[in-house]
Amino acid sequence: MKGGDDAKVLAGGQSLIPLLKLRLASPTRLVDINGIPGLEYIRESGGYLRMGALTRMADLEASDLIMKRYPIIHDASVEIADPTVRNLGTVGGNISHGDPANDLPAIMLALEAEFVAEGGSGSRTMKAEGFFVDTFTTALNHNEILTEIRVPMASPRSGGSYLKLEKRIGDFAIAGSAVQLSLNSRGECERLGVGLTAVGPTAIKAKKAEEALKGKKLTDEGAIRRVGELAAEAASPTTDLRGPADYKKEMVKVLTIRSLKRAYQRAQRGGM
């Protein structure tokens, strides 16, 4: 990218412009990618839900496909900031920014998404797990842009849910929990994905929580509670203006349990 390591991609500008205004970022060059055609889409093909990086968050909110088959994404799409931010902010920007308080990263971890990046040396695909390296740092190289977000296509007995606690409507999360669940034909948990928002330096994949329910029925209250406790153990929040660390951990437990129950209800209804 011209401008080298100092150049910055500009998508919706909803995170980058405030940083520029506050002089927290001063790139020598901005590369506006809004003119690149063919990066705004939401469709299912080849076994994946595919979203172009320039898809606006408002388009997620308006999409029937997202609402009916990927409610975990729909849940977030109506709670991210406000309509103005959602009209401009992009899916790719929300993920590439590497902000642990953004909502989509945790959802992508729960959904086991993959990210396609294009750069000078071609295209590569990365798993969501491992992509969020540190606060505001992702696995994207300076000469790469994120072009597509891929999520394994929803199976018939799957369901997901995202719940976030916020101080006021339109705010970033105090804590958030994304849960994606698949059931086998006996109604037992086949796969569980759990991603956490705003409770660590990056979005967190709560792996022990994901393992705890395998092969178990979702009517097992003790097992459900254990998932919540393990999710809270995976969180490493700090005390800040949004609340004390121990309160945030407790909220992770509560939100995860509620999200899990809602994901189960949706899985029983065929995802919706």
Ligand X SMILES: Cc1cc2nc3c(=O)[nH]c(=O)nc-3n(C[C@H](O)[C@H](O)[C@H](O)COP(=O)(O)OP(=O)(O)OC[C@H]3O[C@@H](n4cnc5c(N)ncnc54)[C@H](O)[C@@H]3O)c2cc1C
Strand order through the sheet with 114-119: 42-45, 48-52, 144-152, 114-119, 122-127
Which tokens in the block code for residue 40? Answer: 């705004």
Instruction: Provide the sign of the torsion angle of the four alpha carbons 75, 198, 111, 252, taken in this order.
Output: negative
> Of 59, 172, 255, 257, which one interacts with ligand X (CB under 6 A)?
172
The minimum distance between CB 114 and ligand X, in angstroms, equals 15
> Of 74, 97, 150, 253, which one interacts with ligand X (CB under 6 A)?
97
**Helices vs. strands in the chain: H and E counts, helices first:** 10, 13
Strand 144-152 to strand 158-166: parallel, antiparallel, or no bridges (unpaired)? Answer: unpaired
Cα separation, 58 vs 60, in Å, equals 5
- Comparing C-alpha atoms, which of 191, 177, 174, 199 is closest to residue 256? 177
Q: Which is nearer to ligand X, 162 or 264 (CB)?
A: 162
Using the structure block, give the residue that is written with the tokens 């037992």. 188
> Of 109, 146, 163, 165, which one interacts with ligand X (CB under 6 A)?
146
Q: Which is nearer to ligand X, 172 or 264 (CB)?
A: 172
Binding of ligand X at residue 176 (CB under 6 A)? no
Hey, which residues between 12 and 31 contact ligand X (CB under 6 A)? 12-16, 18
Strand 114-119 to strand 144-152: parallel, antiparallel, or no bridges (unpaired)? Answer: antiparallel
> Segment near ligand X (CB under 6 A), from 4-12, 58-66, 181-189, 234-242?
4-12
Residue span 207-246 as binding mask against ligand X, x where in contact by CB under 6 A, dash where not:
----------------------------------------
Binding of ligand X at residue 145 (CB under 6 A)? yes
Residue span 49-78 as binding mask against ligand X, x where in contact by CB under 6 A, dash where not:
----x-------------------------
| 255 close to 161: Cβ distance less than 8 angstroms | no
| 17 close to 30: Cβ distance less than 8 angstroms | no
> Of 58, 73, 140, 198, which one interacts with ligand X (CB under 6 A)?
140
Cα separation, 247 vs 188, in Å, equals 32
> Segment near ligand X (CB under 6 A), from 62-70, 85-93, 222-230, 234-242?
85-93
Binding of ligand X at residue 85 (CB under 6 A)? yes
Q: Closest residue (Cβ) to ligand X?
A: 93
Contacts with ligand X, residue ranges (CB under 6 A): 8-16, 18, 53, 80-81, 85, 89-90, 92-94, 96-97, 102-104, 140, 145-146, 172
